[in-house]
């Protein structure tokens, strides 16, 4: 296969950046999208050019590192697929491919296709955890959890934090990510003690990071490589409403 | 009170306000359009209804008008604030733009919303404040405000009837997304009720807007004279 790539090149955060056109030659249809980029980079290195910088780690669709817009679609838009699991057989010989980084104020470009997703880490630090006391190991079945709750929590916990939801949203909103991280605990008994405080803190941090708002047009759900449902956003909306209206500090002494 | 200020400023709080005010405005629209469908029942029915509205007890008319104004202002203000935030959240656009499943209506809410606002201002200027495109005053044989003749006269001019029909379609698009979106914003997403939330609600919006659009069309083709 031979392809024409239009790739966003940007030296660093200060550089204004631009699209640069490259040819990808002798691409095997069974190679992955990242392998195709590796091949282009080898050519660039041989020509003493700077290789295209992109994030990647596990290359098996579970780490959430690889992140790029391919022809305007996060991870290329193939259902339930990360960029590393996208194969070149999904493209036609001679196709023009546009490759851009995630675009969001909260995800500043570090270099080329690499963006800083630290905003997600700060949202997690603000409440995406359960506090567990140290001590003896608790009995495995001391807390009963229905299969349905466990499955729902697991569906939310599938989120790999890649940021495709933000990239696909016209408002660069991170609602699907935050909703998944809120809901994985909201559906488990272990998440109940901090439930109200958690959703308040995480939504507050999300707003502080400069993500946009939800228009409920559900591009995030379609773009999510883990197919996280927007039902979790409704979950978060419900919890945040409850927390805002009803949650109060400890009553204290008169 | 500080928590209320915080809530209305937050991304989710803003969406609750959009949903609640949007639902309120839709309820008004049902009443408004149902009332105006009386045009099909002739001059007597329409004018008597208009008069009865003006003689609601306990100043209810002004309560309704006040509530409507507050809802409309809140809906418009928060909508523009949200749009402003949303634009700021993506300072640099993609060179290649594509969507996977977003509907046309959902992608154009700020634009259809702005068109609806302009239409409402024109509609008020024409039929409430009689500032533009008004050939009145109109009074019927009983000395009442002749709302029937006023509307029919206006719509006999194809410029206004076509403008109104187009505006109703724009409102239809706005409602087709808004009426399903409001449930989600308030956290209402449920396997058993998603048919109502995602299909029946937009359908109700379309039925209402097409019913409203039928009035200028009926005048234009001479069904209402």
Q: What is the 3-state secondary structure (H, E, C) of B132-200?
A: CCCCCCCECCCCCECHHHHHHHHHHCHHHHHHHHHHHHHHHHHHHHHHHHHHHHCCCCCCCCHHHHHHH
Confidence (pLDDT) at B134: 82
pLDDT band for position B132 (cuts 50, 70, 90) = confident
My answer on whether A236 and A126 are in the same domain is yes
In a domain, A32, yes or no: yes
Of A80, A110, A140, the last residue of a domain is: A110
CA distance B130 to chain A (A): 36
My answer on whether A232 and A147 are in the same domain is yes
Backbone angles phi, psi at A192, to 5 degrees: -65, -45
In a domain, A253, yes or no: no
pLDDT tens by residue, A13-45: 999 999 999 999 999 999 999 999 999 999 999
Confidence (pLDDT) at A118: 98
In a domain, A37, yes or no: yes
Longest dimension (CA), chain B: 65
**Binary contact (A239, B85; C-beta < 8 A):** no
Confidence (pLDDT) at A11: 96
Nearest CA in chain B to A168: B99
- The whole-angstrom separation of Cα B19 and Cα B8 is 12
pLDDT band for position A137 (cuts 50, 70, 90) = confident
**Binary contact (A213, B85; C-beta < 8 A):** yes
* A136-143 average pLDDT score: 87
In a domain, A131, yes or no: yes
Whole-Å CA distances, B120 to A156, B1, B127, B204 = 43, 33, 10, 20
Q: Which of B16-30, B123-137, B142-156 has the highest mean pLDDT?
A: B16-30
CA distance B2 to chain A (A): 11
Confidence (pLDDT) at A155: 97
Alpha helices in A188-253 (DSSP H): 195-208, 219-223, 231-246
pLDDT tens by residue, B105-119: 999 999 999 999 999
**Binary contact (A211, B89; C-beta < 8 A):** yes
Confidence (pLDDT) at A19: 97
Say which of A103, A168, A241 has its CB closest to residue B16: A241
pLDDT band for position A151 (cuts 50, 70, 90) = very high
Of A110, A145, A174, the last residue of a domain is: A110
**Binary contact (B98, A203; C-beta < 8 A):** no
My answer on whether A140 and A190 are in the same domain is yes
Q: Residue A163: is its pLDDT beyond 90? A: yes
In 3D, which of A119, A100, A109, A231 has the Cα closest to residue B184?
Answer: A231
Say which of A105, A207, A217 has its CB closest to residue B102: A217
Q: Residue A189: is its pLDDT beyond 90? A: yes
Q: Can you tell me whether residue A7 is helix, strand or coil? A: strand
- The whole-angstrom separation of Cα B59 and Cα B179 is 30
Say which of B7, B92, B100 has its CB closest to residue A223: B100
Report the share of chain A in percent with pLDDT over 90.
93
Report the share of chain B in percent with pLDDT over 90.
89
**Binary contact (B13, A230; C-beta < 8 A):** no
| Residues of chain A contacting residue B92, judged by C-beta atoms under 8 Å apart | 103
Query: What range does the domain containing A38 cover?
Result: 3-110
pLDDT tens by residue, A47-99: 999 999 999 999 999 999 999 999 999 999 999 999 999 999 999 999 999 99
* Number of structural domains found in chain A: 2
Confidence (pLDDT) at B209: 97
pLDDT band for position A140 (cuts 50, 70, 90) = confident
Q: Residue B136: is its pLDDT beyond 80? A: no
Q: Can you tell me whether residue A194 is helix, strand or coil? A: coil
Q: Residue B1: is its pLDDT beyond 80? A: no
**Binary contact (B98, A73; C-beta < 8 A):** yes
**Binary contact (A215, B106; C-beta < 8 A):** yes
* CATH code where residue A83 lies: 3.10.20.30
| Residues of chain B contacting residue A221, judged by C-beta atoms under 8 Å apart | 101
* CATH code where residue A134 lies: 1.10.1060.10
My answer on whether A122 and A239 are in the same domain is yes
| Residues of chain A contacting residue B90, judged by C-beta atoms under 8 Å apart | 103-105, 170-172, 212
What number of C-beta contacts closer than 8 Å exist between A and B? 136
Confidence (pLDDT) at A150: 96
Confidence (pLDDT) at B190: 93
> Over the range A188-201, which residues count as b (16 or more CB within 10 Å of their CB) and which as e?
beebeeebbebbbb
My answer on whether A39 and A159 are in the same domain is no
- The whole-angstrom separation of Cα B36 and Cα B30 is 10
* B90-97 average pLDDT score: 96
My answer on whether A105 and A127 are in the same domain is no
Mean pLDDT of chain B: 95
**Binary contact (A217, B177; C-beta < 8 A):** yes
Of A82, A110, A138, the last residue of a domain is: A110
Contact A1, A27 (CB under 8 A): yes
Q: Residue B73: is its pLDDT beyond 80? A: yes
| Residues of chain B contacting residue A103, judged by C-beta atoms under 8 Å apart | 90, 92-94
């Amino acid at each position: 296969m031979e392809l024409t790539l239009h790739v966003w090149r940007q030296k660093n955060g200060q550089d204004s950046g631009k699209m640069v056109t490259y040819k990808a030659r002798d691409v095997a249809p069974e190679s992955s999208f990242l392998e195709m980029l590796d091949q282009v980079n080898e050519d660039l290195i041989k020509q003493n050019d700077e290789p295209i910088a992109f994030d990647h780690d596990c290359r098996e669709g579970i780490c959430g590192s690889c992140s790029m817009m391919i022809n305007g679609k996060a991870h290329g838009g193939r259902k339930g697929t990360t960029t590393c699991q996208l194969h070149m057989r999904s493209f036609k010989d001679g196709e023009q491919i546009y490759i851009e980084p995630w675009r969001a104020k909260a995800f500043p470009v570090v270099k080329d296709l690499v963006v800083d997703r630290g905003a997600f880490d700060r949202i997690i630090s603000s409440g995406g955890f359960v506090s567990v006391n140290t001590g003896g190991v608790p009995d495995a079945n001391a807390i009963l959890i229905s299969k349905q709750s466990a499955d729902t929590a697991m569906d939310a916990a599938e989120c790999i934090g890649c940021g495709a939801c933000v990239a696909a949203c016209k408002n660069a909103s991170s609602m699907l990510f935050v909703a998944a991280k809120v809901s994985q605990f909201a559906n488990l008994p272990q998440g109940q003690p901090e439930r109200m405080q958690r959703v308040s803190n995480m939504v507050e941090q999300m707003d502080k990071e400069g993500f946009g708002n939800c228009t409920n047009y559900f591009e995030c759900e379609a773009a999510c490589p883990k197919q996280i449902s927007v039902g979790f956003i409704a979950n978060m909306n419900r919890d945040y409403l409850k927390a805002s209206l009803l949650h109060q500090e400890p009553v204290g002494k008169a | 009170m500080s928590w209320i200020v915080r809530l209305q400023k937050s991304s989710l709080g803003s969406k609750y306000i959009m949903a609640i005010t949007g639902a309120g405005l839709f309820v008004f629209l049902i009443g408004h359009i149902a009332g105006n469908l009386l045009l099909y029942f002739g001059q007597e029915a329409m004018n008597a209804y208009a008069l009865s509205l003006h003689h609601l007890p306990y100043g209810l008319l002004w309560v309704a008008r006040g509530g409507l104004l507050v809802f409309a202002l809140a809906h418009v203000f928060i909508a523009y604030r949200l749009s402003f935030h949303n634009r700021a959240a993506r300072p640099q656009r993609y060179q290649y733009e594509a969507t996977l499943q977003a509907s046309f209506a959902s992608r154009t809410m700020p634009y259809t919303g702005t068109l609806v606002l302009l239409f409402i201002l024109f509609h008020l200027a024409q039929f409430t404040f009689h500032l533009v495109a008004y050939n009145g005053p109109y009074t019927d044989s009983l000395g009442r405000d002749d709302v029937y003749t006023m509307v029919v006269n206006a719509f006999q001019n194809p410029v206004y009837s076509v403008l109104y029909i187009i505006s109703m379609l724009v409102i239809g698009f706005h409602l087709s997304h808004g009426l399903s979106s409001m449930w989600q914003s308030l956290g209402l997403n449920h396997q058993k009720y998603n048919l109502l939330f995602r299909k029946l609600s937009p359908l109700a919006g379309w039925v209402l807007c097409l019913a409203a659009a039928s009035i200028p069309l009926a005048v234009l083709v001479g069904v209402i004279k």
